[in-house]
Amino acid sequence: MNRQTLIALGVAVILGVIAVILANAYLTGRERQFAASPQGVVRVAVASMPLNYGDDVTPDKVKFVNYPATSLPPGVHRSIQELLPEGKRRVALRPILVNQPLLAGDLSGEGQNASIAALLPDGMRASTVRINDISGVAGFIKANDTVDVLVTRQAIGPDGAQGDQQVTDVLLQNVRVIAMGQDAAGGTNQPVVQRSATLEVTPVDAQKLTLGQALGQLSLVLRKPGEEQNIPKVETVSLNDLRYSYLSSLPPGMRPANAAQPTSGQQQAQIARLSQPRRTIQPVRRSIAPGRPATSTVSITRGLDTKDYEVGGYAH
């Protein structure tokens, strides 16, 4: 072993010792900081293994770790007796990762099974709508996805009566899917075609869904979650709009603010003009009178005297 190798090995050992000392000093300081705080740390229950929707919470799936007392999330459990009272079971209401605190909002009530109602926030409702392979995006919608709801119905005239023309409206935006069919976990990554979807909506939106199903057909549109993805101004699409429009094909954030959209009257006038049959122009035939037979002229010059002679046409 040469001298340079020994020097490099010695430097590596020294740097390793320094790193261990610094890490030990940092961890010791953090422990002293927690111990010196007014409330210190608290042992809380966390998951010792992954839990899926509907899994039973048993003592072998729970462990206790130290947690800063000043940063405790609401709904933590500090003892196994508090988490699992004797003779009563609890199940997970949503997927829980390893070392994730077992919060009351993620678990069912004492002695209760997994319930969709327990997943609803305050003031929200669960409403189920009929779908098929087309209106359900070919089975790619899963539980906890976010969708828009479209309704296709008959147009309503000025007198309140239904017309013959069909229109499509945006009924709801940014709606969370609670379950597809009877699957509220959405654990599989493969698309599964379902015949119903349960949505998390407000009471008024639940009334809209019920009325929309009675008047027409509902369709789900998969989208990114968040109100920033909403369309500020929704438009009703009718048969007159079944053509390509450059501005309409742009995402909402990329449309020019000063771009003038044609009004409904202008669109209908343009469609009526383009729908009119084209006039056929008949060619004008003119009668040509028979002319004189074609002849040829020959000029003969003798000195300064020039005379023209007609030749040909003798056959006539």
* DSSP-assigned beta bridge partners for residue 62: 47
Nearest-5° Cα angle at 74, 67 to 93: 105
The residue assigned the tokens 């261990």 is 20
- How far apart, in whole angstroms, are the C-alpha atoms of residue 64 and residue 70? 17
Sign of the dihedral through C-alpha 288, 293, 294, 295: negative
Question: Which residue, 142, 140, 162, is CA-closest to 152?
Answer: 162
- Convert 145-171 to b/e letters by CB count within 10 Å (16 or more is b): bbbbbbbbbeeeeeeeeeeeeebbebb
163 and 238 Cβ atoms separated by less than 8 Å: no
Half-sphere exposure of 27 (CA within 13 A, CB side): 6
- How far apart, in whole angstroms, are the C-alpha atoms of residue 128 and residue 150? 15
pLDDT in tens, the chain (316 residues): 677 888 888 888 899 999 999 988 888 877 776 555 556 788 999 999 998 888 889 899 999 998 888 888 888 999 888 888 887 888 888 889 999 999 988 888 787 777 777 778 889 999 999 998 888 888 899 988 999 999 999 887 777 777 778 899 999 999 999 989 888 777 677 888 899 999 999 999 999 999 999 989 999 999 988 878 888 888 888 888 777 776 666 666 666 655 555 555 555 555 455 445 555 556 666 666 565 555 677 777 777 777 777 776 554 4
- How far apart, in whole angstroms, are the C-alpha atoms of residue 135 and residue 150? 9
173 and 231 Cβ atoms separated by less than 8 Å: yes
Q: Burial of 127 by CB count in 10 Å (0-12 exposed, 13-18 middle, 19+ buried)?
A: buried
Q: Could you tell me which residues come within 8 angstroms of residue 59 by beta carbon, excluding any fewer than 6 positions away?
A: 80, 84
Question: pTM for the whole thing?
Answer: 0.56
Letter for the amino acid at 96?
I
For 235-280, give the DSSP string: --EEGGG-S--HHHHS-GGGS-TTPPPPPHHHHHHHHHHHHSPPPP
Helical (H) or strand (E) element with 146: strand 146-156
Per-domain residue ranges of the chain: 41-115, 119-243
58 and 31 Cβ atoms separated by less than 8 Å: no
For domain 41-115, which CATH number applies: 3.90.25.10, 2.60.15.10, 3.90.1150.10, 3.90.1210.10? 3.90.1210.10
For 206-219, give the DSSP string: HHHHHHHHHHSEEE
Identify the pLDDT of residue 219. Answer: 94
